[in-house]
A = this chain, B = another copy of it.
Amino acid sequence: MTKHVIIAAGGSGSRFSSEVSKQFVNLVGKPMLMRTIEAFHQSFESLNIIVVLPMDQIEYWKTLCADYNFGLEHQIVTGGSRRFESVKNGLALISVQDCIIGIHDGARPLVTPELIRKIFNHADEKGTAIPVVPVSETLRHVSEDSSETVNRDDFRLVQTPQCFKSDIITAAFDVEYDQSFTDEATVVEASGVQVSLMDGDPINIKITTKSDLELAEKLLG
């Protein structure tokens, strides 16, 4: 089966108070989106890489690739107003039948080739593969004027890439957007398919704030 990954890189960086969009923020010498692409490039010999970018940032990205001499092959597709539409645009680019499709956050540049391989192989076997990690901290439910502890053993933190057999994800995305769609797993579940959870890796952090960026910088040493 051929393998494809759609890297959703539409983040605005609003929680970052940064001039450039989050996926272009420099992480130890290069924009984090380049690191993300590199990890996928190293994972399988022939993996089709599709990067979804906001329309107004495609030219800037191409300039960055030239500036950094970044030559790893990838297709570029225009994002939608929401992650759901962005992924849909990426899916439309994949015409092959019977393949494995992963969806990954552009802001998870520390994903390792080993983890990517593990997740794709799990999806090949089970149809779906959602990497999760346990919650090792006490977890609190907060509301407007109070908060209370919940049992952390009943929860998991969900990472990406989330991988699916193509027929499963293509059918699932053939719907109108619903606000319950917070990631691809929820879209697939809404189509009536149960997803298969598997072990992720705590190093595969999502970079959302400046503190996360500092953490990633330390991790890259």
Interface residue SS majority, chain A:
mixed
Question: Cβ of A212 and Cβ of B137 under 8 Å apart?
Answer: no
Contact of A203 among B142, B194, B215 (CB under 8 A): B215
- Give Cα A132–Cα B155 distance, bound, in whole angstroms: 17
Q: Give, as a whole number of angstroms, the nearest-CB distance from A156 to chain B.
A: 5
Question: Cβ of B154 and Cβ of A138 under 8 Å apart?
Answer: no
Question: Cβ of B141 and Cβ of A185 under 8 Å apart?
Answer: no
Question: Cβ of B154 and Cβ of A137 under 8 Å apart?
Answer: no
- Give every chain B residue within 8 A of A147 (Cβ-Cβ): 156, 195, 197
Contact of A186 among B149, B156, B157, B202 (CB under 8 A): B149
- Give every chain B residue within 8 A of A158 (Cβ-Cβ): 137-140, 149
Question: Cβ of B137 and Cβ of A206 under 8 Å apart?
Answer: yes
Question: Cβ of A140 and Cβ of B132 under 8 Å apart?
Answer: yes
| A contact residues vs B (CB 8 Å cutoff) | 132-143, 146-152, 154-159, 180, 182-183, 185-186, 189, 194-195, 197, 201-203, 205-206, 208-209, 211-212, 214-215, 218-219, 221
Question: Cβ of B142 and Cβ of A154 under 8 Å apart?
Answer: yes
Contact of A143 among B142, B154, B197 (CB under 8 A): B154
- Give Cα A150–Cα B183 distance, bound, in whole angstroms: 11
> Which residue of B has the minimal Cβ distance to A145?
B194
Question: Cβ of A149 and Cβ of B183 under 8 Å apart?
Answer: yes
- Give Cα A136–Cα B183 distance, bound, in whole angstroms: 13
A-B contact pairs, 20 of them (CB 8 A): A132-B140, A134-B209, A137-B157, A137-B158, A137-B159, A138-B182, A138-B183, A139-B156, A139-B157, A140-B155, A140-B156, A140-B157, A140-B197, A147-B156, A149-B182, A201-B211, A202-B209, A203-B211, A203-B215, A221-B221
- Give Cα A180–Cα B155 distance, bound, in whole angstroms: 17
- Give every chain B residue within 8 A of A137 (Cβ-Cβ): 133, 157-159, 206
